[in-house]
Amino acid sequence: MKNLFFISLFAFVSCTPSVNTEKKDSLTEEHKVEKQLEKLGIQLPAITPPVANYVSAVRSGNMLYISGAGPKQKDGTYIIGRLGDSMELEQGYAAARLIAINHLAVIKNELGDLDKVKRIVKVLGMVNATADFKYHPKVINGYSDLMVEVFGQKGKHARSAVGMVSLPMGIAVEVEMILEVEE
């Protein structure tokens, strides 16, 4: 009976993965978000200073608060316009998606690594729209869809999508977010 126990124990121990194998597996998990961005063909832009007296992000404990931002393009200009007037739904969606890309750059700048994002908690999307425009959620889906594409289940969030009579500089969309990060 003792020999049977010893043989069983030996078989269990010899089938258990070594520490080196576990390290190798954890290395393949590093930079998962960065690899997803590459797969999506997304290159994060350079960070630029805010346009007024505020900061782009504030960390408090394990929460990161990202300031509202507009759809800033690579050339430094913003996508301007009003949904329901000078802009179509698809253009608003693209503007919101651009803000998401810019926010990812801010997050990476603050945390050093996008894999430190534990969860996207809350998104507030503001749409520069006419009084009769009704598709604010579809515009802000441009932002939300990208967060889910990049972070998977961790990218799903609570959200508000509201219409505004105007936004700073005439931008089409503004989005702010709150996320939970690794301590």
Characterize the bridge pairing of strands 173-181 and 117-128.
Answer: antiparallel
Would you say the pTM of this structure is higher than 0.85?
A: no
What's residue 51's pLDDT? Answer: 80
**Does residue 171 lie within any of the structural domains?**
yes
Q: Is position 12 within any domain?
A: no
Question: Which whole-number Å values give the CA distances from 167 to 39, 79, 106, 139, in the listed order?
Answer: 33, 12, 21, 15
Is the residue at 19 inside a domain? no
> What is the mean predicted confidence (pLDDT) over 150-161?
97
Taking CA atoms, 151 is separated from 18, 32, 106, 128, in Å, by 30, 9, 16, 27
Q: Which two tokens stand for residue 65?
A: 């608060």
Indicate whether 14 belongs to any domain.
no
Q: Is residue 132 assigned to a domain?
A: yes
Domain count, the chain: 1
pLDDT-based confidence at 22, cuts 50/70/90?
A: very low
- CATH assignment of the domain containing 168: 3.30.1330.40
Give the pLDDT score at 31. 73
> Given this model, what pLDDT does residue 49 score?
86
Q: Which domain holds residue 78?
A: 32-181
Instruction: Confirm whether 81 is domain-assigned.
Output: yes
pLDDT over threshold 90, residue 74: yes
Question: Quick check: is 105 in a domain?
Answer: yes
